Amino acid sequence: MGNQMDRLSHLSYAEVPTVDPNGADAEDGPRIGVSYIFSNDDDELEDGCAADGSERDPNQEEKHYDRRDEVECAVYNRDECIYEKSAKCASLEVYSPENLLNKCKAGDLVEFVATGQYPHWAVYVGDFQVVHLHRAEVKNSFLTDAGQGRRCRVVNELYKFKALGADVVVQNAMEQVGLKERELSWRNSECFAAWCRFGKREFKMGGEIRIGKQPYRLKILVSDKHAHVLEFQSLEDMIMEKRRNDHLGRAAVLQELGKREQHSSSSCW
């Protein structure tokens, strides 16, 4: 394992067995075990590329963003909620990079978002600059350049872990600048930025052993009364799936889950 893992392999919802023998959880709906066998996020699709891998014009105007297409979800480590994103979160409002500069403080986590793209995370280190993992290299960039036309927001409150002091967060980020490829310990920009702020080894590649029970649950909120639950052996595996859902968007994720439900129903006959 370590830093030299190959491309990930991920089973679709229709291909993974349900955890519950009956295929359903009485409270939250279907529970599905998901396993990422190898690592490496689709970082090449994260910035500057379309979903099909074609190059985006770096000079194109602000990319499209629709708040309604965000996937609402919560993450639990056993019974503890460690992450939550819902329409009720006031912090999800987005701004242009220029306007966000007035709201940032050193040590803040910044998320750049656009419809149909993986979210890109960065650590604000002061002086209008961020440190971020971009195309297999940790870089120091101006906040206005890092987003490549995307809207952005401060997302300190999404993860519920206790944050390190701002000076430590900035130090964590700055000390990694220049690392690239096999020197890296993170699978994507979110894992890197979150590690800088919270210092938890679980955000690193191989930070947890994927053996036995699946202590992490990703609850995808379908409605106020219904959710799909996916189970994972590690935090980084869960983040990979959460990011994949963000890339697909709410409509596509709900369609995929609907097909999974139909597959389960047909299998029962």
Taking only the tens place, the pLDDT of each residue in 201-222 is 999 999 988 777 889 999 999 8
Residue burial 104-124, b: 16+ Cβ < 10 Å; e: rest: beebbbbbbbbebbbbbbbbb
Residue 7 lies in a domain: no
CA 86 to chain centre: 14
Structure tokens at 151: 């809207």
Residue 236 lies in a domain: yes
Asked whether the predicted pLDDT for residue 56 surpasses 80, the reply is no
CATH code, 105: 3.90.1720.10
Residue 126 lies in a domain: yes
Please give the single-letter amino acid code of residue 207: G
CB 235 within 8 A of CB 243: no
Q: Determine how many CB atoms are found less than 10 A away from the CB of residue 244.
A: 17
Residue 48 lies in a domain: no
Number of domains in the chain: 1
**pLDDT per position as a tens digit, 144-196:** 999 999 999 999 999 999 999 999 999 999 999 999 999 999 999 999 999 99
Q: Domain residues for 132?
A: 67-267
Residue 61 lies in a domain: no
Please give the single-letter amino acid code of residue 93: E
Please give the single-letter amino acid code of residue 265: S
Residue 49 lies in a domain: no
pLDDT of 213: 81
Residue 34 lies in a domain: no
Model pTM above 0.85: no
- Please give the DSSP secondary-structure letter assigned to residue 135: S
Per-residue pLDDT band for 225 (boundaries 50, 70, 90) equals confident
Our CA dihedral for 194, 147, 253, 233, rounded to 10 degrees, sits at -20
Residue burial 33-56, b: 16+ Cβ < 10 Å; e: rest: ebebeebbbbbebbbebeeeeeee
Please measure the distance between the N-terminal and C-terminal CA atoms of the chain and give it in whole angstroms. Answer: 41
pLDDT of 209: 81
Residue 118 lies in a domain: yes
